[in-house]
Amino acid sequence: MSTVTVRDCEFSYRLAGSGPDIVWGHGLSSSMAEEDDLGFVDWAQLDGNYRVLRYDARGHGESGSTSNLEGYSWENLARDQLALALGWTGDATHPLTTTARLQELMPHAELAIATTRAGMAAWTRRIGNFLARSLSDR
């Protein structure tokens, strides 16, 4: 596992695979390790078709925390994810500089939040649908 400092917090992340980029954020109060233990996603299946950035959110798993509770608001957690997506190569001059460019590079991207066990279980279907759409674009 690697770390990177973004928005004054050290984040633990894993970057694996090759192909179009996917940024994956775990569920609220979860972590990469917990998702691995639950086995909802077989990450090895994605490695040959996608480059996947997974990370532990601020205050979760192996990532750092902040004493300012506002850092854990939905808005700030989303800002953390966007900052990681925009600069995940560790390069401050990463070419993803606008949301228009992000939409161009990830046309099927969508935000979905699971708040129940059933919602979490639905991720397998969501990922399958995303991959089917993405592969059909090739």
In the chain, DSSP finds a helix count (H) and a strand count (E) of 6, 4
pTM, 2 dp: 0.65
Query: Is the CA virtual torsion 68, 74, 75, 79 positive or negative?
Result: positive
Alpha helices in 13-136 (DSSP H): 32-38, 43-46, 74-87, 99-105, 117-121, 123-136
Q: How confident is the model at residue 125 (pLDDT cuts 50, 70, 90)?
A: confident
DSSP at 26 = P
Partners of 62 in beta bridges: none
pLDDT in tens, 24-61: 888 888 999 999 998 878 888 887 788 888 999 999 99
Quote the tokens at residue 95.
């070419």
Q: Which fold has domain 2-136?
A: Rossmann fold (3.40.50)
Give the span between the Cα atoms of 34 and 30, in whole angstroms. 6
